[in-house]
Amino acid sequence: MRGLQSALFTGFVSLLCLSAGGSAVAQEPIKVGVLTIRSGPAKPIGDDILAGIETATKMYGRVLNRPIELVVEESLFNAQAAVTKATKLVQQNQVASILGTSTIETLALLSVADRLRVPIVTSNSGSAAITRERCNRWVFRTNAEDLMSVESLRELVEKTPRLQQAKWFTIGHDYPWSRLVASSVKGVQDLQYVGETFAPLDTTDWAPFIARARAAGATAVIMPVTLGVPLLQFIQQANEFGLTGTAVLVSPIGLPDWLVEKLGSTSTNVISAGSWAAWRYEEAWPTTKEFNQAFYAMHGRVAGMQSLQSGSATLMLYNAMTKAGSVDPEAIVEALETIEVNTPVGSLKFQPNGRQALVSLFLGPYEKLDSPRYGATYAQRADPFPASKSLPKSAAEYGCKL
């Protein structure tokens, strides 16, 4: 036992030393950090984000005649761990930029962005404050933020008589975002709002909350529930209780396509206000088609909204590096401020003197496709809602002072 103990102890200590060491840095490739969710209930989101970045990297090819090396770190979906890993990416790997973060990681990195000093391009963060009152010169965003989605919700309600006459109810997790969604619905004129309920963050049994919606007589239920397994459980249980028979479910930011596939025919009971991306828009945009094909070739499934978004952020970054002619962080930031790029979610550029991309949202119901495409049998039929309508004012008017 003694010998075994010593051997294991030595091995253990060596592991620690090696882990603290890290690999030697090669000069050739440009390193780009990807900080995203690699475990837990939200892992499917992280998978999609990473897949989109990988596809865009392959599509773009070399940058400044150098290959791109993606350095992936797990954020554990936790603010404190995210800061540590971002520090690692910058200190240990000397990455030129960080991609792949969602609201939790982006908010955490905002506080230390001035220490990290690399451009952070997020494509999956909803919190409006990131590009409004808390904006920071290093942090860019390509997806539509929550308040833009709120505008698209208004548009959706105006265009859909069934929703105008419905009795609205909010069921969500207890995030500030959920309350924002609720208050935006309440703010729509002439809309009947019959109640709301917010569940604790680790809720897996939605029965009491569904009962509440029922008791209020809801015929439209908007669901700001955490994207990932929790949303899937909610919709499945709503279906179980027959709620989908008496009410239409409204998703505030759209459903990832893997979730749509799992829901199958149940997804046709869902309408999306402001999806961040819709692959079916390839019929109008060639870049979207190119991306969809590349994605399908690489990953064997359809590109969901997180993938289309993260791919777009990646293309913006590489274009900025090319325009700047270097990987110097300041130069990349300057380039990002002025470029306009054709991405899978349309022609993107960032708001002048701001950090929010002027990106469209996609409204519409989920339906069964006539014939499967890219492995998908259900998908969203989308109409774009342009940024000119969802983000009409200037960055400064929204509270962003860079």
Partner 1 sequence: MDWNFLFVNILNGVVYGAFLLLTSLGLSLVFGLGRVVNFAHGALYAMGGYALIAVMYGVGVGYWLGLVVAPLLVIPIAMAIERATIRPIRQRPDVDTLLVTFGLSSMIVGGIEYVWGTGTKLLPPPAPFAGTVDVLGNQYPLYRLVAAIVSLLVSAGVLAVIQFTPIGLRIRAITDDPGMAEALGVNRKRLLTLVFGCAAGLAALAGALGAPIFAIHPEMGMNILIDSFLVVVLGGLGSLTGSVIGAFFVSLTKSIGGGYFAEWSTAFLFLVVAMALILRPTGIFGRGRVA
Partner 2 sequence: MATEALAGRAIAMKTEARRRQATALLIVAGAVLLALLPFAGVRSFTITLLTEALIFAIWAMSLDLMTGYTGMLTFGHAAGFGLGGYAAGYFAREVTADFVASLLVAELVILSVAVPIGFVAIRLSGAAFAIVSLCIAQVFFQIAVAWRSVTEGMDGLVGVPLPTVLGRTINVGTEFYLLTVLIAGAVCLGLRQLVISPFGRTLGAIRVNEDRAAAIGINVRLHKWLVFVMSWAIAGVGGTLMVFMKAGTTPMSLYWIESGNVLIMAIFGGLGTLFGPVVGAVSFVFLRDALTTGFEVWQLAFGVVFVIVVLVFPSGLAGIVSRVWMLLWRARS
- Contact footprint for partner 1 (CB under 8 A): 39-41, 43-44, 47, 174, 197-200, 202-205, 207-209, 211-212, 214-215, 229, 232-233, 236-237, 240-242, 258, 262-263
**Residues near partner 2, by CB under 8 A:** 1, 4-5, 8-9, 12, 15-16, 18-22, 38-39, 71-74, 76, 78-80, 83-85, 87-88, 91-92, 103-104, 107-108, 110-112, 115, 127, 129, 134, 174-176, 179, 200-201
DSSP letter at 242?
T
- Identify whether the C-beta of residue 277 lies closer than 8 Å to the C-beta of residue 23: no
Q: How far is the CB of 57 from partner 1 (least distance, A)?
A: 22
- Residue closer to partner 2, measured from CB, 4 or 26: 4
**Range list of H helices, 117-192:** 146-159, 161-164, 176-187
Q: Which is nearer to partner 2, 81 or 298 (CB)?
A: 81
* DSSP run (H or E) holding 109: helix 103-116
Q: Say if residues 382 and 277 touch (Cβ distance below 8 Å).
A: no
* Shortest distance, position 185 Cβ to partner 1, whole Å: 17
Q: Shortest gap between Cβ of 390 and partner 2 (angstroms)?
A: 21
- Least distance from partner 1 to the Cβ atom of residue 179, Å: 10
Q: Closest approach of Cβ 5 to partner 2, in Å?
A: 6
Least distance in angstroms from the C-beta of 241 to partner 1: 6
The length of the chain, given as a count of residues: 402
Nearest CA to 113 out of 85, 131, 139, 141 is that of: 139
Q: Indicate the residue among 240 and 397 with the shorter CB distance to partner 1.
A: 240
Token readout for 393 is 């004012």
As to burial, measured by CB atoms within 10 angstroms (0-12 exposed, 13-18 middle, 19+ buried), residue 61 is exposed
**Which of partner 1, partner 2, none binds 232 (CB below 5-8 Å, type-dependent)?**
partner 1
Residues 6+ apart with CB under 8 A from 148: 128, 274, 361, 387, 390, 391
342 contact choice in partner 1, partner 2, none (CB below 5 to 8 Å, kind-dependent): none
Instruction: Name the CA radius of gyration of the chain, rounded.
Output: 22
Report the distance separating Cα 216 and Cα 219, nearest Å: 9
Q: How far is the CB of 208 from partner 2 (least distance, A)?
A: 16
Question: Whose Cβ is closer to partner 1: residue 51's or residue 263's?
Answer: 263
Q: How far is the CB of 139 from partner 2 (least distance, A)?
A: 12
Q: Please tell me whether residue 248 adopts helix, strand or coil conformation.
A: strand
Query: H-helix or E-strand containing 342?
Result: strand 341-343
CA distance 259 to 240: 17
Out of partner 2, partner 1, none, what residue 207 binds, judged by CB under 5 to 8 A for its kind, is: partner 1
Which of partner 1, partner 2, none does 229 bind, CB closer than 5 to 8 A by kind?
Answer: partner 1
Q: Which residues contact 179 (CB under 8 A, 6 or more apart)?
A: 198
Q: Which is nearer to partner 1, 190 or 202 (CB)?
A: 202
Residue 320 interacts, among partner 2, partner 1, none and using kind-specific CB cut-offs from 5 to 8 Å, with none
Nearer to partner 1, 208 or 372 (CB): 208
DSSP string, 24-57: PPPSSSEEEEEEE--SSTTHHHHHHHHHHHHHHH
- Return d(Cα 249, Cα 119) in angstroms, integer: 37
CB of 229 to partner 1, least distance (A): 5
Which partner in partner 2, partner 1, none is near 145 (CB below 5 to 8 A by kind)?
A: none
Q: Mapping DSSP to helix (H, G, I), strand (E, B) and coil, where does residue 211 land?
A: helix
134 binds, among partner 2, partner 1, none (CB under 5 to 8 A by kind): partner 2
Compare residues 61 and 208 and give the one whose CB is closer to partner 1: 208
Q: Which is nearer to partner 1, 263 or 387 (CB)?
A: 263
